[in-house]
Amino acid sequence: MTDHILELHDIITTVNAGNNEEKQILKNLNIDIDSGDFITLLGTNGAGKSTLLNVINGSLFPNQGTIKLNGLDLTTLTESKRAKYIAQVFQDPKLGTAPRMTVAENLLLAFKRGQKRTLRLRNLHKHMLSFKQLTAQLPNGLSNLLNTPTGNLSGGQRQTLSFLMATINHPEILLLDEHTAALDPNTAQQLLELTNKIITQEKLTCIMITHQLKDALKFGNRTIILNAGNIVLDIKGDARHQLTETDILKYFTDI
């Protein structure tokens, strides 16, 4: 049995293999993640951050390397099979929720993920009080919209819902791909604070992509910087506490 919840070893991903557009995106990455690690992931546009999350969630298979979750080899497991363990929130508020279903129905589906479709929406009324409490954590009105189709929500309300759906079942791994980037500054900050609260309280293991240096240092216990498909910084503990935004910028140079 391993100490690490997630292990990525010798990960290489190549696109357009065999033609003159061939490009290695992730170049032999090795990352061992401890249970409860809250990693902020930084890097220039095109550095490979989303590709790394895709390799973890199974929407992209690496050309080389292995991925293990609690010692279980996930490398060839499909995205839908991995969804039992891994939840993700994307940048686009339109992704992650079923637009014609109500807020409460979406929450119940997420809560009962893995159960047969026909059983999933049973006994919705029994969950309404807990859904009300869950959604009342932010002052954005979501808790008054439990019976509203999610297609009618604002971007901030939808991202809050997507985040609550991703965390309602205590996933082994939570992946956040710039999940507050499309929101106005106040709404983004509120959702980030809620993100931090839930991850910390529930001791979730999380990788959060952000372009905000301040947030990358303020939240989480570990920071990884990718540059052109390589890890150029992987830091936690005291050394990370001493890191400044100016220090971080040095890792953004072209290589």
Ligand X SMILES: Nc1ncnc2c1ncn2[C@@H]1O[C@H](COP(=O)(O)OP(=O)(O)OP(=O)(O)O)[C@@H](O)[C@H]1O
Binding residues for ligand X, rule: CB under 6 A, are 15-16, 25, 43, 45-51
**Nearer Cβ to ligand X, position 19 or 123?**
19
- Categorise residue 35: left if φ over 0, alpha if ψ from -120 to 50, beta otherwise: beta
**Nearer Cβ to ligand X, position 124 or 182?**
182
Q: Smallest gap, in angstroms, from Cβ of residue 74 to ligand X?
A: 19
Q: Smallest gap, in angstroms, from Cβ of residue 41 to ligand X?
A: 9
Q: Which two tokens stand for residue 102?
A: 């109500």
Q: Which amino acid is at 249?
A: L
**Nearer Cβ to ligand X, position 51 or 212?**
51
Q: Smallest gap, in angstroms, from Cβ of residue 47 to ligand X?
A: 4
> Residue 117 CA to chain centroid, in angstroms?
25
Q: How many CA atoms lie within 13 A of 16 on its CB side?
A: 7
Q: Which amino acid is at 192?
A: L
- Nearest residue to 150 (alpha-carbon basis) of 105, 111, 108, 100: 100
Q: Is 187 helix (H, G, I), strand (E, B) or coil?
A: helix
**Nearer Cβ to ligand X, position 49 or 158?**
49
Which burial class, exposed, middle or buried, applies to 79 when counting CB atoms under 10 A from its CB (0-12, 13-18, 19+)? middle
**Nearer Cβ to ligand X, position 27 or 127?**
27
Q: Smallest gap, in angstroms, from Cβ of residue 33 to ligand X?
A: 18
Helix axes 155-167, 185-201, angle to 10 degrees: 10
Q: Which two tokens stand for residue 252?
A: 């953004």
Q: Smallest gap, in angstroms, from Cβ of residue 97 to ligand X?
A: 21
**Nearer Cβ to ligand X, position 15 or 136?**
15
Q: Smallest gap, in angstroms, from Cβ of residue 15 to ligand X?
A: 4
- Nearest residue to 222 (alpha-carbon basis) of 232, 207, 211: 207
Backbone angles phi, psi at 40, to 5 degrees: -95, 130
